[in-house]
Amino acid sequence: MNRIILDVDSAGDDILAILFALGRPDLKLEGVTSVTGAAGDIEQVTNVVLNTLSLAGRDDVPVAKGAYRPIVGNSKQDMEAPVHFEKRLQQRFGDRLKGFNPPAPTPSRQAMDGHAVDFIVDTVRASPGEISVVATGPQTNVAMALRYAPDLAEKVRQIIVLGGCFQTPGNITPVSEYNIWADPEAARVVLRSGAPVILVPLDVCEDNRVATSMLTRDDLNDLAQLYPGGKVAAYVRQTFPIYIDIWREFFGLVGFPLDDAIAIAAVTHPRFFEMSEPLFVDVALHERLVRGQTVAFRGNQILSFEGPATTRVCHGLDGAAFLKLFKGAIGALD
């Protein structure tokens, strides 16, 4: 049985990742921690998590509220760019955008009293070598946990980091992906910690080379045919057409990329992936153009750089096998 803590920022793919995790019989979701990121402030992020668990009938899963801001962050203007991006989407999609990242209604329960960092530390320490942390937003909570409790680097089974890009262009700058860019100092802490890391970059999520892993309207129709009475399947069918449209019409992808669920599959089905050998991966921190860039140390360079060769970078994915697994997990919840 794979045991995970899922650390999310509650964008659309995070919602689907939570549902995917709950629908997998080979996975135990020990808890969900929230971090400020793509979906809004920490209250919105946490409420989305609580509501998603309630939708699936899993109010037993612990939820811990985490970091409300990055360790350092970027300029105010740059940090507000996603807000202005939504305004551009509004101009393009109009009323169709009502279902995209809506304000979360008040959940039926509250998050636990403790902080996400304490939950991560306590859970990993209680079961050394058994817990994988799957971090699908900015790495703030995970970095703070590693700084607070450096022994976690040896006690955690592995850390799955959703972020970065190599061959695929970035979605913030040409070389920077959002999750890493939003808190590059935190990402650097995680990648330099010495913990075993699997890095799941845009290359295997948001690139038409892995189009078979993306959610399309055909897949929504499959859910309708396979699970006609399912409440969770109906929610996915009703909520995600606009996500599919945005990623098709604005980003030029075949469908909506399931980045965060793909990161979970790296725990349960690593055979779906092509991965590098363990490498040293670092993060650029300074110049705005490259801030948040992930740099993998391959080949031979004249200048020397110090860091642990503990990160495996995913560079290939069996998208069709993953998507079949994903749809089966959604159906299993009903």
pLDDT by residue (tens digit) across 37-81? 988 899 999 999 999 999 999 999 999 999 999 999 888 888 877
CA distance 104 to 52: 10
* Mean pLDDT on 307-328: 98
Cα 129 vs. chain centroid, distance in angstroms? 22
Asked if residues 196 and 158 have their Cβ atoms less than 8 Å apart, the reply is: yes
- Average pLDDT score over the chain: 95
Q: Which residues form the domain of 85? A: 2-332
Give the mean model confidence (pLDDT) for residues 204-219: 98
Alpha-carbon gap, residue 222 to 287, rounded angstroms: 46
Q: Radius of gyration of the chain from Cα atoms?
A: 19
DSSP for residue 19: H
Residue 156 to residue 46: CA distance in whole angstroms: 24
pLDDT in tens, 82-125: 666 777 888 888 888 887 888 889 999 999 999 999 999 999 99
Helix 259-268 crosses helix 319-332 at what angle (to 10 degrees)? Answer: 90
Contact 201, 168 (CB under 8 A): yes
Helix or strand or coil: residue 315? Answer: strand
Number of domains into which the chain is organized:
1
Helix (H) or strand (E) holding 331: helix 319-332
Quickly list H helices, 80-139: 81-93, 116-126
Query: In this predicted structure, what is the pLDDT of residue 138?
Result: 97
Whether the CB-CB separation of 38 and 82 falls below 8 Å is answered with yes
pTM (two decimals) = 0.96
pLDDT in tens, 10-46: 989 999 999 999 999 999 999 999 999 988 899 999 9
Share of the chain above pLDDT 70, in %: 99
151-181 as b/e: b if 16+ CB within 10 A: ebbebbbbbbbbbbbbebebbbbebbbbbbb
CA nearest neighbour of 119 among 33, 188, 247? 33
Nearest CA to 202 out of 257, 151, 251 is that of 257
Q: How confident is the model at residue 207 (pLDDT cuts 50, 70, 90)?
A: very high
Give pLDDT tens digits for 217-252: 999 999 999 999 999 999 999 999 999 999 999 899
Rounded mean pLDDT, 261-279: 98
Reported as a single tens digit per residue, the pLDDT across 289-305 is 999 999 999 998 999 99
Question: Which CATH number goes with the domain that contains 70?
Answer: 3.90.245.10
Cβ atoms < 10 Å from Cβ of 78: 15
Q: Is 43 exposed, middle or buried (0-12, 13-18, 19+ CB in 10 A)?
A: middle
DSSP state of 6: E
